[in-house]
Every structure is written in C-alpha cells, then in structure tokens.
Amino acid sequence: MTAASAAAPTAPTEPHVMATYGRLPLALSHGRGCTVWDTEGREYLDALAGIAVNTLGHAHPKLVPALQDQIGKLIHSSNYYHVPLQERLAAKLCELSGLTNVFFCSTGLEANEGALKIARKYGHDRKIDRPEIIVLENAFHGRSIATLSATGNPKVQAGFGPLVEGFVRVPMNDIAAIDAVAKTHPNIVAVFLEVIQGEGGIRPATIDYLQQVRRRCDANDWLLMLDEVQCGMGRTGKWFAHQWAGIRPDVMPMAKGLGSGVPVGAIVCGPKTAKVLGAGNHGTTFGGNPLAMRAGVETLRIMEEEGLLANAAKVGGELRLGLQQAFEGVAGVREIRGQGLMLGIELDRPCGVLLGRAADAGLLISVTADRVIRLLPALILSSAEARRIVEILVPLVKAFLAEPPPKAAS
C-alpha cells in the first residue's frame, strides 16, 4: 500500500507533548533501506533520512546486529572511566580528517556549543578578555542560547533575548567583509561557518572563499571552525565537505549522520586547539557512551565497506541532473544547488505546503528557509530510488507553481 493510494490518515494525538513542532498527521512505524512505513501501513520513500541522520538508511543488516550485540554488553558508563570505543572512534575520525583529537557529546548543538567554548578559551589564553567570533548571515548552529546567538535567523532568535554577545556577522562568500571586520574588531579569535548552510537553504561556501578564509585565519592567528553537522559524514561525496577545498579546520563540530540514528556528536580538533580544553573545562553525561561509540565505529566501517562516499557522489549527481532536466525552463524554480546527497530546490515563493503534499504522494522531504525544498536521503540511495524521487516530486512542484499565488494579507 502506498501513501498516495491509501485513505486519509488518522492524525496521531499527543496532548502531553509540548507543541514545539509543526508535525504532519502521521507517525512512522518501521523502515528498511530508504523505505519507511507509518502506523497505518502507508509506504514512503524517505528522501530526508531523519534530516541527514540515517546515513545507512533504516534497519541496515550490518548495523542492527552490531548494536544488538553492544546493548547486550554495555549501553552506558560514566566518563569517570575509560571507554575503549571512544579511542577507537576518535582515532578513525582523526585518520579521516587529518586532525588531532576528539571530544564526544550527543548532538550537533552540543558540538557547536563546545566549539564556541573552545574559541572563548583560546581567546582568554591569549589575554583577550572579550573574545569575538565571526559568524555568517543565514547560519544555523543550534537552539541553545549561545548557538542561537551565533545563528543568523531572526525568526529562530525571536523571543529569546538578550542574546549572548561576542558575535560579528558577515555575508557568506564575501571575503572583503571579513577583511573589514579584521580592521575594526581587534578581539576576533575565530571564524565559525557551515561549509554548506543547511537550515539556511542549502547554500554552499565556495571553494575559493573557504581557502581565503583559511588564509585569513592563519594570518591573524584566528581559529577556523567549520560546522560539518549536516554536510559532513560523506554526504557530499567526501568525508567532510571542506575537503573539497583542500583545507583543514582547527575545530570541526559534527553529529547527525555519525551514529546512523543513534545520537552521537563530536568536536574534532587540530593541533592548534587540541589542548585548549583540559580536565574540568568541559564535560557530558551521555556523550561517548559505549552504545553511541559502537554506532559510530560501525557506521564508518560500513560506509567504507560499501563505498558510500562514491555512491553519494554518483547517485547525488544523477538526482541533481534529473531535477535540472525536469525543471529546465519551469517558471518559479530559481535554482538547484548543493552537492552529493545534500540538495536544495529554491522556488520563487514559500512552499511549506509541499511537505504534506509530498507525504501524501509517498515521499518524505523537507522545506527549509521557507522557499527551499531540501533533499537529504540516506547515503545508500540507489539510482532507481533517485529517479523515483524525481518522478514523485517534479509533478507536485509544477502543480504547486501553476496555482495562483496566495493573496497578501491586508
């Protein structure tokens, strides 16, 4: 049974859950590969992967038994003790990134919060009492008070002031703006940016811009902190999106796809920041527990065994080409952008209604920055599934764009 052919769903109710999400009227029950089913038996092609989380899709036959094995041994232990799997996963992340050491947490927000603490501590260690960090317009780094302050979205910030001080905001891909800040803000200690802005509308930093920012950081003794929470973990066809520019950051927060569904976050540091945090400077209860670390270790192992970076590049390229060909000349489609299996389709009008329409047609997607359809499927996506995404999505978008635009409120 498909979502398109099924009867209207019975909306789940949740009177005891805070209403912080605008949910669709469905609840997922189980999945396999890139297919999921809801509690009423309707089937969906998952082009969202839990917002770039389910790297290996659902119920991967190599991941499931490994996690079952770990659950039968040890799920959690305090960081009072050594956790051997932490060193195993950290060593692999350092090998893949060329960096030095890792702090493990549970979420991307925590990883970004920790990165901000590293930048502040780095500044204080250099006798800068009020360190400042350059951040970008349209950025999204999280919803804690500090990461919210670094985020460049007034809608997300509204109602939560006063924000944390110490952030200087500049446009993306504008090196002259960073040069201007350098002349007027002597307390800058770091530049913090997403290599591809996710919530900001799948907006990539250019290779030239990333290389120039790296040079500015080196020249000014600043830290380069690259948020790879959404765009990392092989999603673009390399382990980390910044590797396309041939650079290395000083601090790299990451999360989402690292545990293929099990919450795992990490702050990966290079030589310049490897010893900024010492005993007592930072900590976590759940971060780095044995189950999370096993999930990370096995996710990386399976990605290598199955060539998922190459698959992300190949199938992502096919998906993008299919979308470009299908939307060529279609009025209202402004741009298709992104890389690998992180793609955005920008329309000329808000398109949040497509979230529900796509689900009704059997496709799970996201809409971000009001006007951008966001596709973040699992890295196991096949060519046939990529074609199916195009077959379902394109008619929905064309029909939507053919509708008269809503009248502005008087």
The full DSSP string for 4-61 is TTSPPP-----TTS---S---S--EEEEEBTEEEETTS-EEEESSHHHHT-TT-BS-T
In this predicted model, what pLDDT tens digit does every residue of 61-102 receive, in sequence order?
999 999 999 999 999 999 999 999 999 999 999 999 999 999
Q: Which of 103, 104, 140, 240 is catalytic?
A: 140
Q: Which of 38, 46, 227, 360 is catalytic?
A: 227
Q: 407 pLDDT band (50/70/90 cuts)? A: confident
Task: State percent of the chain over pLDDT 70.
Answer: 97
pLDDT at 7: 53
In this predicted model, what pLDDT tens digit does every residue of 250-290 receive, in sequence order?
999 999 999 999 999 999 999 999 999 999 999 999 999 99
Domains and CATH numbers, the chain: 63-305 (3.40.640.10)
Alpha carbons 261 and 49: distance in angstroms, whole number: 9
Task: List, in sequence order, the alpha helices (H) in 221-363.
Answer: 290-305, 308-327, 353-360
Q: 30 pLDDT band (50/70/90 cuts)? A: very high
Q: Which of 121, 238, 256, 272 is catalytic?
A: 256
Catalytic annotation present for 327: no
Alpha carbons 308 and 238: distance in angstroms, whole number: 10
**Which of these, 178, 181, 180, 182, lies nearest to 193 by C-alpha position?**
178
Q: 354 pLDDT band (50/70/90 cuts)? A: very high
Which residue has 């002597």 as its token pair?
186
Catalytic annotation present for 256: yes
In this predicted model, what pLDDT tens digit does every residue of 122-157 receive, in sequence order?
999 999 999 999 999 999 999 999 999 999 999 899
The two structure tokens encoding residue 354: 């497509």
Is residue 211 packed enough to be buried (19+ CB in 10 Å), middle (13-18) or exposed (0-12)?
middle
In this predicted structure, the answer to whether residue 5 has a pLDDT above a threshold of 50 is no
In this predicted structure, the answer to whether residue 1 has a pLDDT above a threshold of 50 is no
Catalytic annotation present for 129: no
| H or E element that contains 88 | helix 84-97
In this predicted model, what pLDDT tens digit does every residue of 184-213 receive, in sequence order?
999 999 999 999 999 999 999 999 999 999
